[in-house]
Structure 1
Amino acid sequence: MTILHRLSRVFLPFATALLLAACATGPRVSTDGSTEADFSRYRSFAFFEPLALEDSGYSTLLSEQLRAEARRQMEARGYVYQPEAPDLRVNLNAFVEEKADIVRVPEVDFGWYYSYRARAYVAVPIHRERAELVRYREGTVNVDLVDAREKRLVWEGVAVGSAAGRTPAERRERAARAVAAIFEAFPYRAGAAAPAAR
Structure 2
Amino acid sequence: MKRYFMIFLLVLSLGACQSVPQLANDYDRARDFSLYQSFAFNTPALIYQPDESYIRSDLTESRIVASINNELTRKGLKVESAQKADLKVQAYLILDTRKTNVAEGHYMGWDPYWHDFWTGPDYVRTYSMYYQVATIQIDLIDRQTDKLVWRGSAKEIVDDSRSLSPSQKDQLIQKIVGQIINLYPPKIDRVKL
Shared fold (TM-score, shorter chain, > 0.5): yes
Aligned residue number for residue 131 of structure 2:
136
Alpha-carbon distance between aligned partners in 2 of 1:111 and 1:141, rounded to the nearest angstrom: 52
Q: Which amino acid aligns with 1:150?
A: T
Q: Report the 3-state secondary structure (helix = DSSP H, G, I; strand = E; otherwise coil) of the residue aligned with 1:164.
A: coil
| CA shift in 2, pair 1:109/1:49, >3 Å | same
Percent identical pairs in the alignment equals 21
| CA shift in 2, pair 1:104/1:49, >3 Å | same
Q: Report the 3-state secondary structure (helix = DSSP H, G, I; strand = E; otherwise coil) of the residue aligned with 2:16.
A: helix
* RMSD across aligned positions (CA): 3.3
Structure 1 residue 102 corresponds to structure 2 residue 98: no
Cα offset for 1:67? Answer: 0.6
Alpha-carbon distance between aligned partners in 2 of 1:174 and 1:109, rounded to the nearest angstrom: 46
CA contact (8 A) 1:103 1:132 kept: yes
CA contact (8 A) 1:16 1:103 kept: no
Aligned residue number for residue 89 of structure 1:
88
Structure 1 residue 36 corresponds to structure 2 residue 36: no
Alpha-carbon distance between aligned partners in 2 of 1:59 and 1:86, rounded to the nearest angstrom: 27
Higher radius of gyration, 1 or 2: 1
CA contact (8 A) 1:53 1:94 kept: yes
Q: How does 1:152-191 map to 2 (within 5 A)?
A: 152-165=147-160, 166-167=162-163, 169=166, 174-187=172-185
| CA shift in 2, pair 1:9/1:42, >3 Å | closer
| Matched positions, count | 179
Structure 1 residue 48 corresponds to structure 2 residue 42: yes
TM-score normalized by the length of structure 1 = 0.72
In the alignment, structure 2 segments of 5+ residues that lack a partner are: 189-193
TM-score normalized by the length of structure 2 = 0.74
Q: Which amino acid aligns with 2:92?
A: N
Aligned residue number for residue 72 of structure 1:
70
Q: Which amino acid aligns with 1:18?
A: L
In the alignment, structure 1 segments of 5+ residues that lack a partner are: 189-193
